[in-house]
């Protein structure tokens, strides 16, 4: 009696399970952006470019961005393209760009491309930035462009400043993305503003690190190391010790290849913060 009552329910359950699994398998390519959130689409008459990252937002500082290029007619994602980009900030009197990497195909993925952009500033409402995308398919050049929204990060993860050599620099925190209590590998990008449009990475400087907790009487931590330029990643890398969770100020001093101090100050009892610093909260 009871079993016969249960049977229809069981059948129904099995059926729906079967349905849902076949649904999952249909668009195979979706898996390539698993864990990523779409920020925006930029399109022209022929193609749509989808932009992704982990938060689904552009924010000031270092942005690790994934892209896909879709043919509007076939709805297929394009596997062989050469893409470049140019982010642009429109100011009242002029416009400028920001540091960025080249875009390259993600190893092991069919349709996914990756690059990064470091927005050094934004307007309070997120406006002001636009993104131009240039790509080549089968020898034909295409272009797509749109305005984008770049929001202010909660903590200062990028700093734009003039060094004692009268050059303008942009310095951005790349890692740790998810800090832990303990020794974190730390990575910082340093770029020189050669012109309004050119921000090449600066090699062979040294960045001195002194992390502090202002909430704990400027408590510091031991075994931090200076950040040294690593050619392979074109960034500065070292060790950052964090003794607890909370709000940290990473006080920095920028020293050029000749050993001259370009920016920053030692943290002392009187001077509680360097003039060059980044923030971290976790």
Question: Which residues are at the interface with another protein (CB under 8 A)?
Answer: 180-183, 213, 215-223, 241-247, 281-282
Considering the complex, state which of residue 97 and residue 157 has its C-beta at the smaller distance from another protein: 157
Considering the complex, state which of residue 151 and residue 247 has its C-beta at the smaller distance from another protein: 247
Taking the complex as a whole, the smallest distance from the CB of residue 222 to another protein amounts, in Å, to 5
* DSSP labels, the chain: -HHHHHHHHHHHHHHHHHHHHHHHHS-GGGGGGTT-EEEEEEE-SSEEEEEEESSSSEESEEEEEEEEEEETTT-PBPSS-EEEEEEEEE-SS-EE---BPPPEEPTT-SS-EEEEEEE----TTS-SEEEEEEEEETTEEEEEEEEE-EEPPSS--EEEEE-TTS-EEEEEEEE-SS--SEEEEEEEEEEE--SSS--PBPPS-EEEEEEEEGGGTSEE-S----EEEETTTTEEEEEEEESSSSEEEEEEEEE-TTS-EEE-----SS--S-SEEEEEE-
Round to whole Å and give the CA distance between 89 and 193. 14
Considering the complex, state which of residue 49 and residue 249 has its C-beta at the smaller distance from another protein: 249
Taking the complex as a whole, the smallest distance from the CB of residue 39 to another protein amounts, in Å, to 26
Taking the complex as a whole, the smallest distance from the CB of residue 153 to another protein amounts, in Å, to 14
Considering the complex, state which of residue 31 and residue 245 has its C-beta at the smaller distance from another protein: 245
Considering the complex, state which of residue 197 and residue 244 has its C-beta at the smaller distance from another protein: 244
Considering the complex, state which of residue 136 and residue 245 has its C-beta at the smaller distance from another protein: 245
- Give the residue from 73, 161, 160, 164 showing the smallest Cα distance to 118: 160
Taking the complex as a whole, the smallest distance from the CB of residue 249 to another protein amounts, in Å, to 11
Taking the complex as a whole, the smallest distance from the CB of residue 155 to another protein amounts, in Å, to 10
Taking the complex as a whole, the smallest distance from the CB of residue 213 to another protein amounts, in Å, to 7
Taking the complex as a whole, the smallest distance from the CB of residue 225 to another protein amounts, in Å, to 11
- Give the residue from 171, 176, 146, 205 showing the smallest Cα distance to 60: 171
Considering the complex, state which of residue 163 and residue 211 has its C-beta at the smaller distance from another protein: 211
Considering the complex, state which of residue 93 and residue 223 has its C-beta at the smaller distance from another protein: 223
Buried b (16+ CB within 10 A) or exposed e, 139-154: eeebebeeebbbbebe
Taking the complex as a whole, the smallest distance from the CB of residue 211 to another protein amounts, in Å, to 10
């Amino acid at each position: 009696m009871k079993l016969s009552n249960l049977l229809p329910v069981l059948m129904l359950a099995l059926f729906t399970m079967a349905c849902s699994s076949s649904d999952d398998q249909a668009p195979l390519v979706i898996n390539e952006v698993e864990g990523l959130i779409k920020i925006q689409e930029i399109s022209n008459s022929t193609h749509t470019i989808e932009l992704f990252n982990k938060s689904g937002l552009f924010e000031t500082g270092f942005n690790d961005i994934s892209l896909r290029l879709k043919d509007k007619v076939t709805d297929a994602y394009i596997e062989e393209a050469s893409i470049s980009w140019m982010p642009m900030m429109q100011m009242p009197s002029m416009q400028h760009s920001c540091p960025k990497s080249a875009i390259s195909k993600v190893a092991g993925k069919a349709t996914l491309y990756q690059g990064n952009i470091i927005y050094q500033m934004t307007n309070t409402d997120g406006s002001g930035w636009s993104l131009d995308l240039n790509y080549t398919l089968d020898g034909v050049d295409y272009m797509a462009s749109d305005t984008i929204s770049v929001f202010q990060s909660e903590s200062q993860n990028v700093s734009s400043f003039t060094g004692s050599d009268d050059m303008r620099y942009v310095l951005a925190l790349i890692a740790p993305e998810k800090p832990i209590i303990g020794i974190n590998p730390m990575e910082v990008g340093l770029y020189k503003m050669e012109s309004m449009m050119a921000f090449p990475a600066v090699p062979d400087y040294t960045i001195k690190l002194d992390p502090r907790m202002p909430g704990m009487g400027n408590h510091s931590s031991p075994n931090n190391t200076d950040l040294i330029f690593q050619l392979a990643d074109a960034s500065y890398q070292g060790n950052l010790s964090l003794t607890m969770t909370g709000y940290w100020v990473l006080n920095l001093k920028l020293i050029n290849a000749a050993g001259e101090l370009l920016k920053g100050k030692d943290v002392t009892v009187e001077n509680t913060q360097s003039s060059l610093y980044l923030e971290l909260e976790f």
